[in-house]
Amino acid sequence: MSETQRVGTVRDINGPIVTIELPGIRHGEQVKIGDLGLFGEVISLNGDRAVVQTYESTDGVRPGEPAEGLGWPLSVELGPGLMGGIFDGVQRPLEKIALLSGDYIRRGIDVAALDREREWAFEPNRDLEVGQTVEPGAVLGSVQETETVLHRILVPPGVHGELEELAPAGNHTIEATIARVRTRDGRTRRLQMYHRWPVRTPRPYLRRDDGVAPLITGQRVIDTFFPQLKGGKGAVPGPFGAGKTVVQQQIARWSNADIVIYVGCGERGNELVDVLETFPKLDDPYTGRKLMERTLLVANTSNMPVVAREASVYVGITMAEYYRDMGYDVVMLADSTSRWAEALREVSGRLGQMPVEEGYPAYLASRLAAVYERAGRVETHGAGSGSVTLIGAVSPPGGDFSEPVTSHTKDIIETFWALSKELADARHYPSIDWVTSFSGHVHTAAHWWHENIDASWEERRREALALLARDAELSRIVNLVGPEALSSSQRWDLEGAALIKEGVLQQSALDDVDTFCSPEKQFALLDLVLMIYDLGAELVTRGVPVQEMQRLPLLSRTRRIKSLYSSEQLDEIEAFRTEVEQTLENLRLEYEKHEEQAG
Amino acid sequence: MSIKEYRTAVEARGGLLVMKQTPGVAFGDRVRIEDHAGGIRNGQVIRASDEDVLILVFEGVEDLDLENTWVRFLDAPVEMALSPELLGREFNGLGEPRDGRPPILSSLRRAVGGSAINPAARTYPREFIQTGISTIDGLNSLVRGQKLPIFTGSGLPHNRLAAQIVRQARLKNEDAAFSIVFAAMGVSYADAKFFRDEFASSGVLRNVVMFVNLADDPPVERLTLPRTALTAAEYLAYDLDRHVLVVMTDMTYYAEALREVATAKGDVPARKGYPGYLYSDLAEIYERCGRIHERHGSITMMPVVSMPSDDITHPIPDLTGYITEGQIVLSRELNSQGIYPPVHISPSLSRLMKDGIGKDDTREDHPRVAAQLYALYSRALETRNLASIIGADELSTHDRRYLTFADAFDRRFVGQGENEDRSIEATLDLAWELISIFPKDVLTRVSEADIAKYYRELDESQAGSAGGGPASGVTTAVQSHSRRRRRSASGAQPAGAA
Ligand SMILES: Nc1ncnc2c1ncn2[C@@H]1O[C@H](COP(=O)(O)OP(=O)(O)OP(=O)(O)O)[C@@H](O)[C@H]1O
Ligand SMILES: [Mg+2]
């Protein structure tokens, strides 16, 4: 990269796509456009001319204004000070921008992501000695970034050599020198607490590992029925209003990840404000600390420039990889990948590229795959194993899952939580459809459940799904010929399925108690409902009228248990279970007696 | 650049004019065009390069001749002049008076394009607005700063509903009325007149700014109209500290105008010929609403979106639903049964309801009552379906209760008078009356405490007639059938109001 800055000229402005004349500029290079200094990125070259996509509105820019090549590709700053923040699609800190430019984002504003003044208490790695050889990813020391997050300062990728100097414990700004490394070519590299990384290049790791543990989200239909692994990739498709954002926010709130990166990509401003206002008040169920301490937001709302929307996903995933490299389990949520794909479409359209499906360019599938491929569980260079779980919302036009973004995404991901308009309209939340959703991780998750919760988890899960499948079939019959056509035990099947739906699957994010459900409670509820179904089925076979069973008050109480008792009140759930068992047992005895008398 | 005038037009098509040899023209600038007959048209630069400049002509390029067209680049973006004098006035899409009175004189001019609100500067909307309409207040509550569109179809009473909301909307514990910004795009003369008369007769005209582009006005002007209107709304809200309710009708005509221009420009179409950027373009409009830190005023938005062929998956309602914070959906079926307002609650939704209701805002049972009504109604619709196949007689007594409930709900809860302003308490009480059709053990969405406090014990004989509907339900249906507009408040106000 040439060190001298070069200045050329704006030739053509077509919305966010600007053509400049600047010999020697590179593909992917960052550019400042016009007198306002709007940021952009070179996306194609043709002779002395370069096509630039700008991250800001180009209103008022004229042909003839200057265009300056900055010499580096779109990069982010990685270092302490990211956690708890909110950044725009090109990692500008929005809270600081609000102080500088008021309620609206002024164009061309140039603010570094990380605070240069703030001092951090650096604690060197006691195991390191001067003279030792260090490799990329080696832990130089750490700072307590927030109460929850210990931020490990790593040797950046590409730096190998002998440690010449390591700063002692003490307060430093991110720009202070904390180490010097003599590299193999004999030069000394000065290391700071932060470095820059180009967002479109995945960060290196030692090797990829298989996922082993489920990401516990506290949502029953996810954890129990369609589990996700730490390091997995998943999608939440659904029509508008079906609950994609709520699912993602619930995962951001309650999952057992170390770090959460929430990318609001082309969605509503108020949804990010919701996170910004509520997370600092909510307690992490695992650490007891405030959720915002381990959360980072990237916001490119739907009204913000579309090109920065394309960048926002890369900016988010690069920060996710950075925390992964410290040995953390990171969850990145992207809401919505469809808006990201539309940003690709808009740029490709302006460039006059040939559209293939619904206006999308031919490279849509490969770009999507490349983004999702950055998720995974890896062995890091120096901090053990870490993971990035990537969960993308998909917003199919008209709720039609056969459209290009949904169908390509479906080919890439392993967990698919399909939201249904019918369920949402009936206010069955989360509206994850148990027929069309799938998880490729059930088997792996089962190991964890069997070891940590209950050895019959996989079996119970299968029974529940089988009952739901029977229910779907029987409901079709009922809708054709009415309930009278069903046998007693078939009608009890419907009742059992209804119990699963209302007592287990439905879980309101707005219910203070039920919003989070521990794996123990998840299993207790599932097991309770199935027990009632099993015992009841036996009674019905013995001849107890199904109407009598349906009238049992314990059924409606079972439906309420989830919000009556919290994850800490397993004993109460157990007590209820014993009571139910007793009631049904009594019913059986009574019925037998009755039978005997009759017989 | 100083203001220059050129006569170098080389092409005119579909609302667009191409100019050659006009160096240094800024992207987005406003243009003044004088045609051969001396007529003045307005335009905006939508592509600027060394070689040529593309201009969007708001009045269209009809009748232009390239030789005798003078184009003046005004070296400024499309702007709106702002002053408190706006109130009570009527403008076109460019902010020029339509009411025959002089233009607004003010040194304060703002570009109508607006810019994005910094999400970090927003405040989450949470103040409940009482509209007096049960299906909205009770089940899809509106809060200050929300964008909640009405999805409708041709011939449905969306205008009457919008007018009723404008008349009745207020904060529960505040008297302060809303200032209204009314934006009409491509509507008929009759519709515009309906609103004008409505504002006049309810005495709010002095609190209204109207922006009007009729069906026979130039369609391209519809592209700036909502932006101009929102610039005025932002001024009222953030400069004058007012709470503004923006009613925009009909966003479908806006989007059609956008498609017309996009097609002329040769933009790659996505669905049904609409350009790929329709989503972003609509979002630029809708996202201008909201609440901002330390600003007293607010912008609440109620766009009317008609669903072509009643299809909610059509790109315009579809993309709108992806941007707005819910939607109120009108149903042709309810309407043909004479139920006003024909709000179909199943596809309707308010996403911001959760923080605006409950103990401190409306009543503690509100969130659970809403969930319970939804659960019952959705089961009731299934039962209705079943009954239409196998006959109601084949249903169990328990299932028949759902039918009773569905009918009572449609007629009494959904249906109400056009001048009936129900307080939220009245709405919730009515809800309990309907919920109490069912035995307590069916009610799993409300809490046991709610049941203890609000459940209405009915003996079996009454249970039947509760659904049968006391007179009010029937009257409501009749009222909405009659086209007569009743002005007298007598009898229209339920006891709980005020
Ligand atoms: N688990 C849940 N518990 C309670 N309510 C829910 C739940 N999921 C969804 N909802 C309700 O549904 C509404 C819409 O959900 P959400 O905003 O997540 O939809 P979405 O699929 O993201 O829509 P869009 O594509 O328009 O962004 C929420 O505001 C909430 O009222
Ligand atoms: Mg969403």
What confidence score (pLDDT) does residue B315 get? 94
CATH code of residue A388: 3.40.50.300
Nearest-Cα distance to chain B for A104, in Å, is 4
Fold category of B5-76 in CATH: Thrombin, subunit H (2.40.10)
Stretch A284-306: mean pLDDT, rounded?
91
Task: Please name every residue paired with B6 in a beta bridge, in sequence order, or none if there are none.
Answer: B71
Does residue A508 line the site of ligand 1, with CB under 6 A? Answer: yes
Establish if A451 belongs to a structural domain: no
* B475: pLDDT strictly greater than 60: no
Q: What is the pLDDT of residue B331?
A: 96
A207: its two tokens: 């090797």
Q: How far is CA A102 from CA A91, A107, A110, B108, B122, in A?
A: 18, 12, 14, 19, 11
The answer to whether A395 contacts B280, with C-beta atoms less than 8 Å apart, is no
* Alpha-carbon span A68 to B352, nearest angstrom: 44
User: If pLDDT is split at 50, 70 and 90, which confidence band does B389 have?
Assistant: confident
Q: Spell out where B124-207 has E strands.
A: 128-130, 142-143, 150-152, 170-171, 179-187
| For testing contact with chain B, the best of A303, A309, A512, A557 (most B CBs within 10 A) | A303
> Out of A133-137, A401-405, B470-474, which region has the weakest mean confidence (pLDDT)?
B470-474
Determine the residue among B124, B144, B320 to mutate to test chain A binding: the one whose Cβ has the most chain A Cβ atoms within 10 Å.
B124
- Given an 8 Å threshold on Cβ–Cβ distance, is A427 in contact with B120? no
Q: Which of A180, A166, A224 is nearest to A526 (CA)?
A: A224
Cα(B149)–Cα(B319) distance, rounded to whole angstroms? 12
Cα of B349 to ligand 1 centre, how many Å?
9
Residues 6+ apart with CB under 8 A from A393: A235, A236, A237, A238, A244, A245, A247, A248, A333, A334, A335, A336, A337, A338
Answer yes or no: do A384 and A484 share one domain: no
Confidence (pLDDT) at B103: 94
Alpha carbon of A209: minimum distance to chain B alpha carbons (Å): 37
Contact criterion met (CB < 8 Å) for A240 and B321: yes
Instruction: Decide: A40 and A17 in contact? Cβ < 8 Å.
Output: no
Strand locations in A85-187 (E)? 86-88, 120-124, 133-134, 139-144, 150-154, 161-166, 170-172, 179-182
| A216 and A180 together in one domain | no
Q: Do A481 and B50 touch (CB under 8 A)?
A: no
Cβ contacts of residue B179 below 8 Å, gap of 6+?
B87, B207, B208, B209, B236, B242, B243, B244, B245
Q: How many residues does chain B have?
A: 498
Question: Cβ contacts of residue B63 below 8 Å, gap of 6+?
Answer: B35
Question: Could you report the per-residue pLDDT of B44-80, keeping only the tens digit for each?
Answer: 999 999 889 999 998 888 888 988 999 999 888 889 9
State whether A501 and A585 are in the same domain: yes
Residues A397 and A472 in one domain: no
- The pair phi, psi for residue A250, each rounded to 5°, is -65, -40
A241 and A155 inside one domain: no
Residues A309 and A333 reside in one and the same domain: yes
What residue segments make up the domains of chain B, in order of their start? 5-76, 81-356, 366-490
- B283/A342 touch (CB, cutoff 8 Å), yes or no: no
**CA distances in angstroms from B377 to A323, A428, A558, B330, B430, listed in the order given:** 47, 12, 22, 16, 15
Distance A536 CA to ligand 2 centre (A): 40
The residue-averaged pLDDT of A461-467 equals 97
Cα–ligand 1 centroid distance for A243 (angstroms): 3
pLDDT of residue B498: 32
Domain B81-356, CATH = 3.40.50.12240
Q: What was the pLDDT predicted at B460? A: 52
The backbone region for A224, taken as left when phi is positive above 0, alpha when psi lies in -120 to 50, beta otherwise, is alpha
What is the per-residue pLDDT across A135-194, written as a single tens digit (0 to 9) for each? 999 999 999 999 999 999 999 999 999 999 999 999 999 999 999 999 988 899 999 999
**In the predicted structure, residue B482 carries a pLDDT above the cut 50:** no
**Which CATH number fits the domain that encloses residue A472?**
1.10.1140.10
Give the least confident one: A315-324, B55-64, B173-182, B431-440: B173-182
Q: Has residue A457 got a pLDDT over 90?
A: yes
Is residue A109 included in any domain, yes or no?
Answer: no
**pLDDT of B479:** 39
Q: For residue A62, is pLDDT > 70?
A: yes
Mean pLDDT of A539-564: 91
Domain end residue (candidates: A10, A39, A73): A73
Q: How many domains does chain A have?
A: 4
Residue B486 has pLDDT above 50, yes or no: no
Per-residue pLDDT reduced to its tens digit, A424-448: 999 999 999 999 999 999 999 999 9
Q: Which residues contact B135 (CB under 8 A, 6 or more apart)?
A: B328, B341, B343, B345, B348, B413, B414
pLDDT value for A305: 85
pLDDT at A32 over 70: yes
- Tell me if A80 is assigned to some domain: no
pLDDT at B278 over 60: yes
**Using CB atoms within 10 A of its CB, is residue A520 exposed (0-12), middle (13-18) or buried (19+)?**
middle
Distance B292 CA to ligand 2 centre (A): 21
A15 lies in a domain? yes
Q: Tell me, yes or no, whether A449 lies in a domain.
A: no
The token duo for B18 is 């191409």
The CB of A448 under 6 Å from ligand 1? The reply is no
CATH, residue A146: 2.40.50.100
Residue with more model confidence, B60 or B134: B134
**CA distance linking residue A528 with residue A526, whole number of Å:** 5
* A276/B119 touch (CB, cutoff 8 Å), yes or no: yes
Domain of A586, in residue numbers: 457-598
Contact A268 B47 (CB under 8 A): no
- Give the residue, by CA position, lying nearest to ligand 1 atom 12: A243
Instruction: Tell me whether residue A100 is in a domain.
Output: no
Q: Are A394 and A505 contained in the same domain?
A: no
Question: What ipTM was predicted for this assembly?
Answer: 0.91
Residues A270 and A378 in one domain: yes
CB distance B322 to ligand 1 below 6 Å: yes
Angle at A241 between CA A235 and CA A243, to 5 degrees: 45
Give me the architecture of the B366-490 domain, per CATH: Orthogonal Bundle (1.10)
Outline where A201-354 has alpha helix (H): 220, 244-254, 269-278, 306-324, 337-350
The pLDDT score that the predictor gives to residue A594 is 82
| Residues in chain B closer than 8 A to A239 (CB atoms) | 313, 318, 321
Whether the predicted pLDDT of B467 surpasses 50: no
Q: Which two tokens stand for residue A273?
A: 């404000």
A245 and A151 part of one domain: no
Q: Which of A12, A61, A94 sits opposite B120 (nearest CB)?
A: A94
Atom 11, ligand 1: which residue's CA is nearest? A243
Q: Do A492 and A382 lie in a common domain?
A: no
Give, for B126, the enclosing helix (H) or strand (E). none
Distance in Å, alpha carbon of B53 to nearest chain A alpha carbon: 9
pLDDT at B192 over 80: yes
Q: Do A103 and B313 touch (CB under 8 A)?
A: no
Q: State the pLDDT at residue A201.
A: 95
> Where residue B480 falls among pLDDT bands split at 50, 70, 90?
very low
Q: A432 CA distance to ligand 1 centroid (A)?
A: 11
Place of tokens 């196998």: B390
- The pLDDT value given to residue B459: 57
Residue-wise pLDDT for A558-581, tens only, equals: 999 999 999 999 999 999 999 999
Q: Do A241 and B389 touch (CB under 8 A)?
A: no
Question: What local confidence, expressed as pLDDT, does residue A5 receive?
Answer: 57
Pairing of strands A329-335, A385-394: parallel
Structural domain includes residue A198: no
Residue from B4, B22, B27 to probe the interface with A (highest A Cβ count within 10 Å)? B27
Contact B378, A427 (CB under 8 A): yes
Q: Are residues A310 and A161 in the same domain?
A: no
Judged by CB atoms closer than 8 Å, whether chains meet at A11 and B28 is answered as no
At A101-125, the pLDDT tens digits run: 999 988 888 899 999 999 999 999 9
- At A599, is the pLDDT very low, low, confident or very high (cuts 50, 70, 90)? low
Residues A128 and A261 in one domain: no
Question: pLDDT at residue B478 above 80?
Answer: no
Domain of residue A1, CATH code: 2.40.30.20
Q: Compare B154 and A350 and report the one with higher pLDDT.
A: B154
Most A CBs within 10 Å, among B73, B322, B376, to test the A interface: B322
- pLDDT, mean over chain A: 93
The pLDDT value recorded for residue A595 is 79
What token pair was written down for B97?
């008076």
Element holding A500 (H helix, E strand): helix A488-500
- Does residue A103 form part of some domain? no
- Residues from chain B that touch A102, judged by Cβ atoms under 8 A, are 118, 121
Burial of A176 (0-12, 13-18, 19+ CB in 10 A): middle
Per-residue pLDDT tens over the stretch B74-118 = 888 889 999 999 999 999 999 999 999 999 999 999 999 888 899
- Closest CB from B50, B51, B118 relative to A104: B118
Q: What is the Cα Rg of chain A in Å?
A: 28
Nearest to B321 among A61, A107, A241 (CB): A241
The residue to mutate among B124, B140, B325, B351, having the most atoms of ligand 1 within 8 angstroms of its beta carbon, is: B351
Tokens representing residue B158 in the block: 């969306």
Mutate to test the pocket of ligand 1, among A219, A220, A244, A246 (most ligand atoms within 8 A of CB): A246
Task: Please name the residue whose Cα sits nearest to atom 28 of ligand 1.
Answer: B351
